[in-house]
Amino acid sequence: MITYQEDNRVFKLDTPNSTYMIGIVDDENFVGHIYYGKRLQEAEASYLLRTQEAPYTPGRNNRERCSFYDCFPFEYPTGGTGDFRESCLSVRTAGGHVGAMLSYVSHEITGGKPALEGLPATFGTLEECETLKIVCEDKYVGMQVELFYTAFRDIDVITRSVRVSNAGQEHFYLTKVYSACIDMDNRDFDMVSLHGSWARERHIQRKTLGYGIQNVSSFRGESSHQDHPFLALVDKNTTQEHGEVYAMNFVYSGNFRAQAEVSQFDYVRMSMGIHPENFCWKLEPGESFQAPEAVMVYTDKGFDAMTSAFHKLYRKHLIRGKYKNKKRPILINNWEATYFNFNTDKLLAIAKEASALGIEMLVMDDGWFGRRENDDCALGDWQVNEEKINGGLKNLVDEVNKLGMKFGIWFEPEMISPDSELYRAHPDWAIAIPGRPGTESRHQYVLDLSRQEVVDCVYNMVASVLKSANIEYVKWDMNRQLTDIGSASLPADRQGELYHRYVLAVYEMQGRLVKDFPDLLLENCSGGGARFDAGMLYYSPQIWCSDDADAIERLEIQEGTAMLYPLSTMGAHVSDCPNHTVGRVTPFETRGIVALAGTFGYELDVTKIPEADREQIPEQVAMYHQYNDLVREGDYYRIASYSKNHKFDCWQVVREDKKESLVTFVQVMNRPNFKSRRILLKGLDENLRYDVHFVGDKDAGVKSYSGDTLMKAGILMPNLWGDFRARLIHLVAAD
């Protein structure tokens, strides 16, 4: 999978359908990027480094060295010495100087994949992947840089990360350290990214790549609702099924930048890493900094193939724990049912009704602790409010368990309300700039998790609640972004470490939680979907996708999310109507069908909804049990996109052996005087015959067609009466 050719000094990394090549140039040992694309048979394309083109040729003259630096395809570019495109690495020495240039020192190729200290990362066995480490140095700075590349044997994925060490005698500061870079020729690319806001996360955006720098980023302290740590450069003609895609996704949950820069020579530099804004990390002699992992996917088979590579990687090589490949309990969450206005009796009434309908877990959301009657106070006071939870938490959990249901609970461990016992005792525990009034958001501050005593105190409060009763699920929320970056405990020249130390501490806390409570189902959340990223998926197998649970708004949100992340990870619930975010009324059936594409659950007061809706719950529960294995583990295909056609949405999942499939069709607005729609299915076995069943349509009967017909001629989807209507089509291969 990974080879090194000694004679021409070329590394060749192969995945099933892609090749990545790196070359070492000249006696100065520049590390150059040769090629990334369709799989090559030979490692002989090092002419792509263009080292023989005027005006400078390495090793022969020094006159135009600067122009060489400014066009050479660096594998990991540094700044300040002549490459004027944006660098991946910036350092400032103790003397205050910037500028670096890396040269190759040695390399190592090993089976498997080393873990990244303190960080989430994909993993794989000796049989599943191979790792190349290239060691480089800048002897003037006294810096060693290790570039890591892992190629996966069965998936078209290469992962990258970087470790920078101080190998000198004096400290220096890292002011930028990205994780991945590809320098290549621009081919009239489009740039695809995911953009959003609260309640409308991860909408797909595609635009023409122009000269100069274009990027998406977050310096909000989390990956964010607004931009997503993902970027793809694609051919103008790339569609779901065809065309080249170069994609990068970041296994990190904090500040990021994902960028493409088109240079004067029509080269493009695509890069991804921690956002350099307010980042400054001091490295004492002997210390190292480990940058997070970036995942790269190349395919010439369009977005479906890109999605399939990400899904396979994350399902098999990122998500962990008891629920990794398991059906999750169907939950009912009381947030939209009661907001802060609940007590033991109200929760038990909901649980009683829910359990009779087949719902499997009650989740008690925000408002059960301290004096939390509204969102103005009490974050940090993680003790049960026994006026509300009268009889105590254990009693409530036991009563819920007696109904045959599991019990889950909400926390927001990273936060502190100014009006809380915790803040009154430790005002310096909030992130703040000394002397400057902090900017409140939802009346709260963020805890300074760079301090171990803060992490330990909060973790112990959370753990003690979890130990006090049979709690089997935690929703870990994070409801504001970071401002006023300052820590009372870090020295002046380490304040620039706070953003990243904060993220490392979140990882440490969640790592501890899943280790101490191995049976716990953890669901991350951040004001909806502001921290839905590959970093968090290492700790929690599912993440609340968006606070907007309206079935129609969810089409675009779930489409963008599912472009990268398996359906098993998408927190999706049937919620109340009129919808609490947009006021829209959609049929209960449609809400159920859209939520079935995710983890599935309810977010409403089941004792108050109309009888006709309540009656549908047992049927929806049965569908979840019937189809969830397929939805969770199957291959996902996008058939049509409401965000593009403004009429209907359609996606499909296919079991790995291709013997079963489920198609979801959502007709958004009805069209008068319109006939049926022809839908071409995907991913089936052309040689198998399938029984096609339009679920819920008693008149349609079951018809049988070959996979070949279903994929080439398609099926006819009748026009449905009314707006916001949905249908499931179930296909099973006949024996």
Residues that bind ligand GLA (CB under 6 A): 335, 365-366, 375, 410, 477, 479, 525, 527-528, 544, 547
Please, which residue, 341 or 645, has the CB nearer to ligand GLA? 341
Please, which residues bridge with residue 362 across strands? 332, 407
| CB 318 to ligand GLA: min, Å | 23
| CB 530 to ligand GLA: min, Å | 9
Please, which residue, 297 or 379, has the CB nearer to ligand GLA? 379
Please, which residue, 258 or 525, has the CB nearer to ligand GLA? 525
185 in catalytic set: no
Nearest CA to 600 out of 317, 361, 325 is that of 361
Residue pair 469/408 in contact by the 8 Å Cβ criterion: no
CA–CA separation, 245 vs 722, rounded Å?
38
The residue type at 117: E
HSE-up of residue 99 (Cα within 13 Å, Cβ side) = 8
Residue pair 105/137 in contact by the 8 Å Cβ criterion: yes
Of all residues in the chain, what percent are helix, strand and coil, respectively (each to 5)?
20, 30, 45
Please, which residue, 228 or 312, has the CB nearer to ligand GLA? 228
Alpha helices in 522-587 (DSSP H): 534-537, 551-562
Around Cβ 274, how many Cβ atoms within 10 Å? Answer: 26
Please, which residue, 482 or 653, has the CB nearer to ligand GLA? 482
Which among 366, 533, 547, 613 is annotated as catalytic? 547
| CB 479 to ligand GLA: min, Å | 5
| CB 475 to ligand GLA: min, Å | 6
Please, which residue, 86 or 336, has the CB nearer to ligand GLA? 336
Helix (H) or strand (E) holding 506, with range, is: helix 498-516
Residue pair 430/423 in contact by the 8 Å Cβ criterion: yes
Q: In degrees, to the nearest 5, what angle opens at C-alpha 485 toward C-alphas 481 and 486?
A: 140
735 in catalytic set: no
Cite the beta strand spans of 461-563 per DSSP E.
473-476, 521-524, 542-544
| CB 198 to ligand GLA: min, Å | 9
| CB 410 to ligand GLA: min, Å | 6
Please, which residue, 204 or 525, has the CB nearer to ligand GLA? 525
129 exposure class (CB count in 10 Å sphere: 0-12, 13-18, 19+):
buried
State residue 70 phi and psi, 5-degree precision: -80, -5
Residue at shortest CB range from ligand GLA: 366
Which among 477, 533, 550, 576 is annotated as catalytic? 477
| CB 367 to ligand GLA: min, Å | 8
85 token code pair:
């495109």
CA–CA separation, 567 vs 556, rounded Å?
14
Cα radius of gyration rounded to whole Å, the chain: 27
What residues are annotated to the active site?
Answer: 477, 547
